């Protein structure tokens, strides 16, 4: 049997929000929901300010090639799952993702593949949220570096680095894992604050953001 996609009844609309409930949604179904929102909303929000919520039970599946130049709305995680699939690309794609109180999971498939680069800027506007998982599939190890000058943490990319270790890197504000141990790293002039995680089952590395 093929994968069953979420039905229209699992999509609801609020002020400036397109909310995905239980079901699987690919980019085609997401674009259809956005088109319906524009048709039915008498006072539509500007496309780039619209929120696309992945709520509990929702599974949004996105390909890198579909995200370059994306300006149709801000992806938000509120209990659901967003999967990013690798696709060959010569472009660098920057995508903000917002964490809502429900938390959830971000999954990156084939995390060590190239070419193609996706830079995720993960923001948490609220101090309190449920646990968030960053899941890197087909990946033997993953690392994060804390830059105290910028007060930010980079996953999969060293500060001042030109390219991530695979095809994806994640930027977070602050130092959520309290990385404080300086280590020497190839390609850097001075030791950097770095932490590594090894893969568990099925060559998958899971990083958990504290709730």
Strands (E), the chain: 11-14, 17-20, 23-25, 51-55, 58-63, 74-78, 81-85, 92-99, 104-108, 117-123, 132-136, 141-147, 152-155, 168-173, 182-183, 192-198, 205-209
Q: What is the pLDDT of residue 183?
A: 85
Pick the range with the lowest mean pLDDT from 18-22, 111-115, 194-198: 111-115
Residue 68: band (very low, low, confident or very high) from pLDDT cuts 50, 70, 90: confident
Give me the mean pLDDT over the 109-128 stretch.
Answer: 83
Residue 195: band (very low, low, confident or very high) from pLDDT cuts 50, 70, 90: very high
Q: What is the pLDDT of residue 169?
A: 93
Residue 42 has pLDDT above 80, yes or no: no
């Amino acid at each position: 049997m093929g994968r069953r996609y979420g039905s229209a009844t699992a999509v609801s609309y609020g002020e400036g929000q397109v909310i995905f409930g239980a079901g699987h949604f690919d980019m085609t179904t997401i674009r259809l929901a956005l088109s319906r929102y524009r048709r039915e909303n008498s006072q539509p929000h500007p496309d780039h300010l619209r929120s696309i919520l992945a709520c509990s039970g929702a599974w949004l599946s996105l390909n890198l090639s579909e995200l370059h130049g994306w300006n149709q709305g801000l992806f938000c995680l509120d209990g659901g799952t967003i999967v990013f699939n690798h696709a060959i690309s010569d472009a660098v794609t920057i995508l903000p993702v917002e964490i809502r109180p429900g938390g959830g999971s971000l999954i990156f498939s084939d995390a060590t593949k190239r070419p193609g680069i996706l830079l995720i800027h993960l923001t948490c506007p609220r101090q309190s949220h449920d646990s968030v998982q960053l899941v890197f599939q087909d990946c033997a190890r993953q690392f994060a570096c804390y830059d105290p000058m910028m007060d930010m943490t980079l996953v999969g990319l060293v500060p001042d680095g030109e390219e991530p270790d695979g095809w994806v890197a994640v930027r977070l504000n602050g130092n959520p894992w309290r990385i404080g141990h300086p280590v020497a790293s190839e390609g850097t002039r001075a030791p950097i604050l770095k932490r590594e995680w090894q893969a568990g089952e099925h060559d998958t590395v899971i990083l958990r953001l504290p709730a």
